[in-house]
Amino acid sequence: MGLFNFTGEFGSGITKPGAVRLPVRLCQRALAGRAARCSTRRGRSALPVKDWQDVILVNMIGQRFYDETIGHFGYNTHAASRPICRAATSNAKNQKYNPSNFINAALAGIGDGYNGGGPIWAIFDAEAVAREGWDPKPPHVDFDAGLFFEADSIEALAARIKMNTSACRCRRRNLAATMERYNSFVDDGKDADFGKPKPLYKIAKPPFYAAWATPVIHDTRAGLRINARCQVIDMNGEVIPGLYCGGESAGGFSMHGLPRRPCARASSRDETPVTENSNA
């Protein structure tokens, strides 16, 4: 898996969130369900998105930037390659080339000559809440942290959206124009801007909501240097006694869990580092 993360053609390790309103440390698309459960145990929760037809995504000045139904990136997996023959090297030829530029679009900026799009917001209405089965109240949402906003009109919603990390405020005219245009796509049955497959639902019934849905870092490509016993090596190449590291925290890979654990736990009397060519 470590080699896969070096060779997979999916860009950076930043993902489209699968749940809106979660803190950045929990909002991983692939782990949205588990993150929501962990967050609930901490007194917080989330709004996992079942159908991206129910929301639109806008940048910090209130403009749509992509087809919301498209995922974050594509790669060759057993789920993506059809038909699949287990353990066969020919599976890759069955993979369709279908790149997603969601992250590029989210980071493209706002037309001011600078890269970086700022916070991304999921916008939806009362009918979307009913379809998704959400409860837009604490602890499922976090008003105090500035991750969730509610208003009875789109203009009022735009006026309330504020985040300290945002370079500028959401613009009421932009968000109102975005909403009017998107609703017209529902009437036409076609997304003339980004090709969202047959937009199904207007965002028209108050109250209206804005939930923080900014792309997040999913995996790390760096970490602590270790040897074959998973002992941590310092800057001088020496073992740090009693300190071990494995899995995603170890340098060079982005494995989940502890696939690279020590074969045998080294004792306090056996802290001798292994040779350089056996380093993990």
CB neighbours of residue 182 within 10 Å: 20
Tokens of 137: 């109240």
C-alpha–C-alpha distance, residues 208 and 227, integer Å: 54
Of 122, 141, 129, 133, the C-alpha closest to 46 is 141
Q: What is the pTM for the complete model shown? A: 0.70
**CATH 3.90.700.10 domain locations along the chain:** 11-217
- The confidence score (pLDDT) of residue 275 equals 38
Amino acid at 210: A
- Per the CB < 8 A criterion, the answer to whether 247 and 241 are in contact is no
- Per the CB < 8 A criterion, the answer to whether 78 and 136 are in contact is no
- Per the CB < 8 A criterion, the answer to whether 154 and 182 are in contact is no
CA 145 to the chain's CA centroid? 19
Classified by CATH at the fold level, domain 11-217 comes out as Flavocytochrome C3; Chain A, domain 1 (3.90.700)
Cβ-based burial of 146 (10 A; exposed 0-12, middle 13-18, buried ≥19) = middle
Peptide bond before residue 139 is cis, with ω within 30 degrees of 0: yes
CB neighbours of residue 85 within 10 Å: 10
CA 155 to the chain's CA centroid? 27
- Per the CB < 8 A criterion, the answer to whether 52 and 69 are in contact is yes
Per 3-state DSSP, the chain is made up of helix, strand and coil in percentages (nearest 5) of: 25, 15, 60
3-class secondary structure per residue, 68-124:
CCCCCCCCCCCCCCCCCCCCCHHHHHHCCCCCCCHHHHHCCCCCCCCCCCCCCEEEE
C-alpha–C-alpha distance, residues 212 and 147, integer Å: 5
- The confidence score (pLDDT) of residue 43 equals 43
DSSP label of 250? B
- The confidence score (pLDDT) of residue 27 equals 36
pLDDT tens for the chain, 280 residues long, are 445 554 455 555 566 777 775 433 333 333 333 333 333 334 445 788 899 999 999 998 899 999 999 877 665 566 666 777 777 777 777 777 667 778 888 888 777 766 666 889 999 999 999 999 999 998 888 888 888 999 999 999 999 998 776 668 889 999 999 999 999 999 999 999 999 999 999 999 999 999 998 876 666 566 788 888 889 999 999 999 999 987 777 765 555 555 544 444 444 444 444 433 334 3
- Per the CB < 8 A criterion, the answer to whether 230 and 280 are in contact is yes
